[in-house]
Structure 1
Amino acid sequence: MHVPVLMFQINAEFKRITTMPLQSRFLSQLDLFTANLLKVFEKRSGQQGKKLRDMSAMVTDDIDAGRECVIKGLCIYLNEDPDHLVQEYVEMTETHFFSAIEMTTVGIYVVKDTANSEPSDVGIVIEGVVALRDLENVALASAMLFGLFYALNMQYPTKLRYTFEVIQKIIMEVDAGELSGKAQSLKTKLHQ
């Protein structure tokens, strides 16, 4: 497996700033919080609760797929659209793919040959440009996107600000001082 140079640089810069490893900490902390997050998701009612239960039902023995479901579930729980974070492109020509990517401000893309196939590519888009590609899965791409935001001191996208706040302050435990009401409520429910 070749590690993209930018991925190495993101990990190194994050560790320089925070003294903690980005990739391994993100994945291990996400795994640590998964059971409690799923319990919190199950207690949600209404339309949002149905979406969360559907998402939770997709958590399987495949750890990468499970992590992706938890990340998307986190978006739903915080009233943010997971499609703003992860865009799937299925059976799409390269020309159409790049046209669609140009419209993306920031996010993760997943390219699949068919709806049920494994991804042929997972990457990060910033300002309509593929910044990082050939990532193994959505969880790793989420870690790298968070690391980019943090290392470059970029503002989180408005449509995903609560998701990234929870990733930063609750999951990663970085600069975890003041929390928004949504993040504080989730943190309280996770520790009940």
Structure 2
Amino acid sequence: MSNDRRTDDKTCCCDPVRRSLLQLGAVATAAALLPGKARADDEDDPRRMERPQVGDFLVYAGGDQEGALIIEGALNVGDEPVLAWATDPSRKILRDGTRLNQILVVRLDPSTMDAETKSHAAAGFLAYSAICTHMQCTVTGWIPEKQILHCPCHQSEYDPRHDAKVVGGPAPRPLAALPLRMVDGKLQVAGEFIGKVGMNKQTM
């Protein structure tokens, strides 16, 4: 009798391993039955890999305000730039599927910008790819007295007032610019990246 009980215990649903397998199977079945729309925010959604699209809004990529929309009063002129992602407001898709979509947002005095730079700015806000064109590090540094973007990896420097042209270090090209517009006090993408994001393939 005691042997029979031990045998039954090993095969009952109370066994931890069996219970875990049953739970995993139930979860997988439920996920497979979900409609496509319900799975739109799945991590494998290819739309998260898409470059920022016209009509996307910009949100903070980290910090205390992560995920919040970047609004007109968010930055003062000359403040340290912030990292951002683009988000599709209609499909609720955050385009964070690749780090190549990281965006730098900075606010500067429009009177200090050249004409080309001013053409893709909005209320003094400028957006550039945050990916260095040298070795694809994330450009996170800011030299406030010069108002220059700085890459900490190999010391490349970019001037955001002049289309992020290279003013120091080994970077071969400017950062790609992302045209902006202001819609109801919120930063919105107004065009595709101007220029190539990241480094040249032949240098990879």
Instruction: Give TM-score scaled by structure 1 length.
Output: 0.23
Structure exhibiting the larger radius of gyration computed from Cα positions:
2
Higher helix share: 1
Which has the higher relative contact order, 1 or 2, with Cα contacts under 8 A spaced 6 or more apart? 1
Higher strand share: 2
Instruction: Give TM-score scaled by structure 2 length.
Output: 0.22
